[in-house]
Amino acid sequence: MKRIFVTRATGFIGQAIVKNRLDNHYDIVGLARNESSAAMLENLGASTHRVIARYRFPAFTATG
């Protein structure tokens, strides 16, 4: 069985990809940033990889 890692698996397009590949007997691992996203992927039948920390870049502001 082939395994695929899907980033943004809980988005509109990502969910369609996950469902399609699961229907075609692929093993899917989806990226989940919170518990509700992980639960949604697991309910579809995918495995999850959970992000521990999310980095945010400071906002840049223009002056002048």
Total-model pTM = 0.74
The helix/strand/coil state of 29 is strand
State the pLDDT at residue 64. 53
Of residues 38 and 56, the one with the higher pLDDT is: 38
State the pLDDT at residue 6. 95
Angle at 22 between CA 37 and CA 42, to 5 degrees: 30
Location of structure tokens 């069985």 = 1
Report the pLDDT averaged over residues 20-47: 94
Q: Where residue 1 falls among pLDDT bands split at 50, 70, 90?
A: confident
